[in-house]
Amino acid sequence: MAKKSCVSILCFLIIIFSAISVSAQTCDETAGNFKPDSPYAMNRRLINVTLASNVTVHDGNFYGWMGLDPDIVYAVGMCSPGAGPEACSQCIQDTSDSLLKSCPNQTDSFTWLGEEFLCLVHYSRKPFSGVLILEPSKVLYNSVDIEKENLKEFDSVWDELMSRTMTSLVRNNLSTPTSKYYENEIAPVPGYKNISVLMQCTPDVSSEDCKLCLEKSVDYYKTLHHGKRGGIVLRPSCFLRWELYTFSGVFDHIRMPPPSSPPLPSPPPSKTPFVVTNMPVKGKNFFTNLMLVLKIAESVQFDLKTIEAATSNFSASNKLGQGGFGEVYKGMLMNGTEVAVKRLSKTSRQGEVEFKNEVVVVAKLQHRNLVKLLGFSLQGEEKLLVYEFIPNKSLDYFLFDPKKRIQLDWTMRCNIIGGITRGILYLHQDSRLKIIHRDLKASNILLDSDMNPKIADFGMAKIFGMDQNVANTSRVVGTFGYMPPEYVTHGQFSIKSDVYSFGVLILEIISGKKNSSFYQMEGLVNNLVTYVWRLWENKSLHELIDPVIREESKRDEVIRYIHIGLLCVQENSAERPTMSRIHQMLTTSSITLDVPLPPGFLFRNGPQSNPLAQRLEPGEPTSMSFACSLDEATITDVSPR
C-alpha cells in the first residue's frame, strides 16, 4: 500500500503499526554497521557495563571511549539535574541496555529516556564531544488535536513559551554540567490547563549551537505536527518536550489520550531521517491499548466485493434508509449473518470526518446496549461501515405510531429506558474513554428482536480526555428538541448535554408524544419539556402518561420516571444528575428525588397564540425562537434507520 495515497484511517493504522516496532531508541542507519563478534561489539558491551558507574562518579555527566582505532567506541552518559546518584545510575543502565538491544549492529545510536527525570546515552564510532549533532532525530506526538477554535490563541501562547524557555535556557551556560542548558517553564493557556515545556542540550555544545538545535526542533514540530496536544523531539545534542500537563522525565505521566480523530501523517521532508510516530507513550497500558485497537482494526476490515455481494451490489430493494452522510443497506454475509451497511456518500467531505470518527470510536466499544460495528471497508472511493443488523427498526418507529405504540407496554418501555441508561453510562464512564454521543434521540435508538434498545450513530460522538469535562464547538450539530440550551446557544457540550437529551427521551417514551406535537397545544407556544413542567407545577404529572399504558399498579413508578426525566432537563447543566446517579434513581425506589428546577427551553405563557409571534421574555436565550420555529430539524442530517 502506497503511503502517499493511503486514506487517512489506514494511515492511522499504519502509524500504529510502525509505532509498535519503533520505540524511542534512535539507531543511526546512515553511520555504518558492525558484526556481532567484532571488536567494536565487544567495546560497546564493555562500556555498557561501566557507563552507569562512570556517570555517577562524574556528577551525572560523562564522556569517554573504549578500545583501539579503528574500533573505538565513544560514549556519553548524562542525567538531568535533580537525579540522585542511584536513580541516575539506574536510568543510564536501563537506557544503555535498551540501546544495545534495539540497535544491535549500528555503530551510532542514542536516546533520551527516563521516568522521573531525563537521561541521555549516546554511542558513536566518531568522537563527538563539542560537536553539534542534529541527526538522527525522532518526533513523538500526541495524536489528539487542539480544538480548532482555540488554536490561534493556543499558538501565540505556545510560540511565546518556546522562545522564552529557549532564551532562559541558553543563559544557564555557566552552572554545573548537568544543570547547564536545562530549563522547564509553564504558561497558562485559555481553554486548557498549563502548557509545560522541558528543554535540554548536552553541555558540550556552545550556546549558539544549543539554540540552533532547539529552534530546529520547535520548527520541525510546528511544521509537521502543528495543532497537536503534545510532543517530544529527540536529537543527539538536544531534547524538547511539551505537554498540556506537568511532567518531569520523558515517559512519566504519559497517558495516551484516545485519538478524537486519527492523525494525518505529513510526509517528512525528503532525505530527513525522521521517524514519525504517534506514540507519545511507552508503558504497559499504552501498548495494551494500541494492540487492542490494532487487533480490532485488523479483524474488522471487509473486502469491498464481500459487501457488494452481501447487499446485491447496493440494490434499491436492500436500502433501509437515507441520510446526509449516505445510505444504509441491509445485507447478508456468506455465512448468513445479517448486516446493516452504511455507505458514505462519495462526495461529502464532512462525511469522511464522521466516518473516521465512527470507526475509531465504535471499534473500541463493546456493550449490549450499543450497536456493534462489525467492520469497515475502504476501497477506492467507497467508505463503508458494517454494523450488526438490528431487526426491529428504531424507537421512533414504534413510539410515534398510533397503532404500533400499543405494543409498548410499561414493562417494555421501562426496559428500553433501562437499556438506554446503561448504554450511555458505558459511554460516559465505563468504557475507559469518556464519550459524548451528542445526538441521542428516538430515531437513534434501535430495537433488537427482544425489543432491547441499542444506541446507534456515533458520527458526531466526541471522545473526551479523562480530565476534560466541557468542550466548546462552533459547529453545533444535533437535533433540536433534544439539545440543551447551553449547547444551542454557546456550543458547549459535556456529559450533561447527553443527560438533557436522555431526559427528553424519557419524557417521550412515557408520553408517546413527539415534543413537536406540542407545537400549538392548547393554543400556546409549547414544547414537551414546557408541557411536562406545567403538569409538574399543577401536580398532575399523571396526565402525561400515554393512555395505552394501562398498568395501574405501576402508576407511581411511571410518575417517578417522569420526575427523573424532569431532573435531566433542568436548565442549569450542573443541576442535572450524572448517568450513574440516574441509574441509581431508576433502580432504587427508596432514593428520594430532588425537586426539579425549571427546564431548559421553558416557554412561559404569553397572550399570543401564534408561536412565531411570541415575544421572548427578557434574559431568555434568543435561540429559543429558532428552536421553536424549526420543527423536526436535524441540523446535521443523520442516517435514519
Ligand X SMILES: *[C@@H]1O[C@H](CO)[C@@H](O)[C@H](O)[C@H]1NC(C)=O
Cell of 354: 464522521
Residue 442 interacts with ligand X (CB under 6 A)?
yes
In this structure, how many other beta carbons lie within 10 angstroms of the beta carbon of residue 9? 20
Residue 308 interacts with ligand X (CB under 6 A)?
yes
Closest C-alpha among 146, 191, 258 to residue 492: 191
Strand spans (E) along 403-518: 434-436, 445-447, 453-455, 462-464, 471-472, 492-493
- Closer to ligand X by Cβ: residue 200 or 278: 200
Question: In this chain, which of 1, 3, 29, 49 binds ligand X, going by CB under 6 A?
Answer: 49
- Closer to ligand X by Cβ: residue 442 or 455: 442
- Closer to ligand X by Cβ: residue 65 or 551: 65
Q: H or E element: which one contains 427?
A: none
Q: State the nearest-atom distance from the C-beta of 64 to ligand X, in Å.
A: 3
Determine the residue with CB nearest ligand X.
Answer: 481
| CB 535 within 8 Å of CB 438 | no
The Cα 329–Cα 378 span in angstroms is 16
Q: Looking at 154-162, 233-241, 352-360, 473-481, which segment touches ligand X (CB under 6 A)?
A: 473-481
- Closer to ligand X by Cβ: residue 34 or 355: 34
Question: In this chain, which of 29, 84, 129, 186 binds ligand X, going by CB under 6 A?
Answer: 186
Q: Looking at 230-238, 359-367, 431-439, 625-633, which segment touches ligand X (CB under 6 A)?
A: 625-633
Please give the full DSSP string across 532-563, using - where no structure is assigned.
HHHHHHTT-GGGGS-TT---GGGHHHHHHHHH
| CB 16 within 8 Å of CB 290 | yes
Pairing relation of β-strands 109-113 and 453-455?
Answer: unpaired
Q: Looking at 177-185, 265-273, 347-355, 514-522, which segment touches ligand X (CB under 6 A)?
A: 514-522
Residue 39 interacts with ligand X (CB under 6 A)?
no
Q: State the nearest-atom distance from the C-beta of 590 to ligand X, in Å.
A: 29
Residue 470 interacts with ligand X (CB under 6 A)?
yes
| CB 17 within 8 Å of CB 294 | yes
Question: In this chain, which of 90, 179, 379, 516 binds ligand X, going by CB under 6 A?
Answer: 516
The Cα 299–Cα 316 span in angstroms is 29
- Confirm whether residue 342 is marked as ligand binding: yes
- Under 8 Å CB-to-CB from 372, ≥6 apart: which residues? 366, 387, 388
Q: State the nearest-atom distance from the C-beta of 589 to ligand X, in Å.
A: 26
- Closer to ligand X by Cβ: residue 21 or 449: 449
Q: State the nearest-atom distance from the C-beta of 241 to ligand X, in Å.
A: 17
Q: State the nearest-atom distance from the C-beta of 600 to ligand X, in Å.
A: 11
Pairing relation of β-strands 138-141 and 275-277?
Answer: parallel
- Closer to ligand X by Cβ: residue 8 or 472: 472
Strand spans (E) along 294-406: 319-323, 326-332, 338-344, 373-379, 382-388
Cell of 532: 411536562
Residues β-bridged to residue 387: 340, 373
- Using only the alpha carbons of the chain, give its radius of gyration: 30
Taking CA 346 as the corner, what is the angle to CA 344 and CA 351, rounded to the nearest 5 degrees?
50
Residue 298 interacts with ligand X (CB under 6 A)?
no
Give how many residues touch ligand X by CB under 6 A.
64
Q: Looking at 59-67, 229-237, 254-262, 609-617, which segment touches ligand X (CB under 6 A)?
A: 59-67
- Closer to ligand X by Cβ: residue 313 or 610: 313
Residue 628 interacts with ligand X (CB under 6 A)?
yes
Spell out, one character per residue from 380 to 399, where the chain touches ligand X: x when CB under 6 A holds, - when not.
-----------xx-------
The Cα 323–Cα 496 span in angstroms is 27
The Cα 492–Cα 520 span in angstroms is 29
Residues β-bridged to residue 382: 379
Catalytic residue (choose from 28, 439, 498, 546): 439
Residue 47 interacts with ligand X (CB under 6 A)?
yes
| CB 374 within 8 Å of CB 307 | no
Residue 324 interacts with ligand X (CB under 6 A)?
no
Q: State the nearest-atom distance from the C-beta of 479 to ligand X, in Å.
A: 5
- Closer to ligand X by Cβ: residue 348 or 473: 473
Q: Which 8-state DSSP code applies to residue 143?
A: -
Q: State the nearest-atom distance from the C-beta of 192 to ligand X, in Å.
A: 8
Q: State the nearest-atom distance from the C-beta of 309 to ligand X, in Å.
A: 5
- Closer to ligand X by Cβ: residue 540 or 589: 540
Q: State the nearest-atom distance from the C-beta of 520 to ligand X, in Å.
A: 11
- Under 8 Å CB-to-CB from 224, ≥6 apart: which residues? 139, 266, 268, 276
Q: State the nearest-atom distance from the C-beta of 266 to ligand X, in Å.
A: 27
In this structure, how many other beta carbons lie within 10 angstroms of the beta carbon of residue 324? 16
Q: H or E element: which one contains 153?
A: helix 151-171
Q: Where are the alpha helices (DSSP H) in 81-238?
A: 85-102, 151-171, 207-225
Residue 279 interacts with ligand X (CB under 6 A)?
no
Q: Looking at 58-66, 126-134, 574-582, 589-597, which segment touches ligand X (CB under 6 A)?
A: 58-66
In angstroms, how far is CA 156 from the centroid of its own chain?
Answer: 24
Residue 479 interacts with ligand X (CB under 6 A)?
yes
Residue 170 interacts with ligand X (CB under 6 A)?
yes
Residue 313 interacts with ligand X (CB under 6 A)?
yes
The Cα 411–Cα 549 span in angstroms is 9
Question: In this chain, which of 13, 19, 55, 75 binds ligand X, going by CB under 6 A?
Answer: 75
Annotation marks residue 439 as catalytic: yes
In angstroms, how far is CA 29 from the centroid of its own chain?
Answer: 34
Residues β-bridged to residue 328: 321, 342
Residue 640 interacts with ligand X (CB under 6 A)?
no
The Cα 165–Cα 442 span in angstroms is 53
| CB 460 within 8 Å of CB 478 | yes
Q: State the nearest-atom distance from the C-beta of 355 to ligand X, in Å.
A: 19
- Closer to ligand X by Cβ: residue 243 or 352: 243
Overall residue count recorded for the chain in this entry: 641
Residue 132 interacts with ligand X (CB under 6 A)?
no
Closest C-alpha among 263, 200, 203 to residue 232: 200
Spell out, one character per residue from 94 to 123, where the chain touches ligand X: x when CB under 6 A holds, - when not.
---x--xx--xx------------------
> Dihedral sign, CA of 472, 474, 476, 477?
negative
Residue 191 interacts with ligand X (CB under 6 A)?
yes
Q: Mapping DSSP to helix (H, G, I), strand (E, B) and coil, where does residue 384 land?
A: strand
Annotated binding site for ATP: 342
Give residues in contact with ligand X (CB under 6 A).
33, 45, 47-51, 53-54, 64-66, 75, 93, 97, 100-101, 104-105, 170-171, 173, 186, 188, 191, 193-194, 206-207, 308-309, 313, 333, 335, 337, 374, 391-392, 407, 441-442, 449, 451, 470-472, 479-481, 490, 492, 514-516, 527, 534-535, 538, 540, 543, 628, 631-633
Q: Which residues are annotated as part of the binding site?
A: 342
Residues known to be catalytic: 439
